[in-house]
Structure 1
């Protein structure tokens, strides 16, 4: 567990599964991903995050407030897919329920997760990316003092049709 001023970052437990799925079913939360994901896809993501801790020693953390209410997730994952436009890489990410927006929780939790990943895993770099219209995440990236890397931007075709554009930022391990 990581404790910050306002939050707790905890390992995933079954008590988080339903709230995790509800967050992914919210069209406002999932607007940057072209809409909600279904419960099956949410469960697969949840299980992947739980396995990440066992297999990689790094993954997303569940974010809770001091009362234990689920607020979302943050953390670093190790993307091993060489076919990804950025190749294999470490990625910091976050997603919060709407009622947790606007309080600085994404920045607070992501900073703690970055510090933890750098101390324990020591990656040479950590990347993050978001869509051009996700100004909230771009603001978090700015507050985290991540470096914008436009030469690494990418586009992927969505299985459901259409494309998704990723704008890329980088955190150097020594900066955290």
Structure 2
């Protein structure tokens, strides 16, 4: 079976490989990257998270994809996953992204997330995909706006993740009819 790849003008979303684990662990250990997400996590937690991403593709054909530049530089991840059963918004599907600091502010998150959303809507015929972020994560809120997601304050929530202090999530919704302005090639 040919591995799934989604190409955008500047990024490639692809399945994870074992050789991605060190770069993924470094991303998850970066205090700036993880500032709005409960703080850095160690290698064991990073490996467990990556294993969940791999399993999501095997089970659903969508996941948090590895994102790299078209020349192969690891940038982070973006993609759609089923929400865990204990999540306040479950059952449902969410999109998330996380990029290395050197990729911030360059439009990569929007480009990769648009490809992931389009693919998930085509593959799964979902009625909606949600995204959520912390109130102070203005960068992710801007990405959600550029993705033409709609803010839904009635579905904001508070949760405790990994035993940390209560975390407040602001919610956006993407619907199948939203259109991506990005050309996406699937191979």
TM-score (normalizing by structure 2):
0.90
The equivalences for 1:108-147 within 5 A come to 108-147=111-150
- Distance (Å, rounded) in 1 between the aligned partners of 2:70 and 2:161: 37
Per the alignment, residue 178 of structure 2 pairs with 175
Per the alignment, residue 164 of structure 1 pairs with 167
- Which of residues 3, 8, 15 is equivalent to 2:7? 3
Provide, for residues 121-162 of structure 1, a one-character-per-residue CA deviation record: whole Å limited to 9, x for no partner: 111100000000100000000111100000000001244331
Q: What value does the CA root-mean-square deviation take over the aligned residues?
A: 1.0
Give the match's secondary structure for 1:24. Answer: helix
Alignment: residue pair count: 175
The equivalences for 1:23-102 within 5 A come to 23-81=27-85, 83-102=86-105
- Distance (Å, rounded) in 2 between the aligned partners of 1:2 and 1:33: 26
Structure 2 unaligned regions, length at least 5: 180-187
- Distance (Å, rounded) in 1 between the aligned partners of 2:42 and 2:113: 26
- Distance (Å, rounded) in 1 between the aligned partners of 2:41 and 2:148: 30
Give the match's secondary structure for 1:174. Answer: coil
Give the match's secondary structure for 2:36. Answer: helix
Give the match's secondary structure for 1:5. Answer: coil
TM-score (normalizing by structure 1):
0.96
Q: Structure with the greater relative contact order (CA < 8 A, sep ≥ 6): 1 or 2?
A: 2
- Distance (Å, rounded) in 1 between the aligned partners of 2:159 and 2:147: 26
Give the match's secondary structure for 1:33. Answer: coil
- Distance (Å, rounded) in 2 between the aligned partners of 1:7 and 1:78: 23
- Distance (Å, rounded) in 2 between the aligned partners of 1:50 and 1:157: 24
- Distance (Å, rounded) in 2 between the aligned partners of 1:20 and 1:51: 16
Report the CA distance between 1:84 and its aligned residue: 1.5
Higher helix share: 1
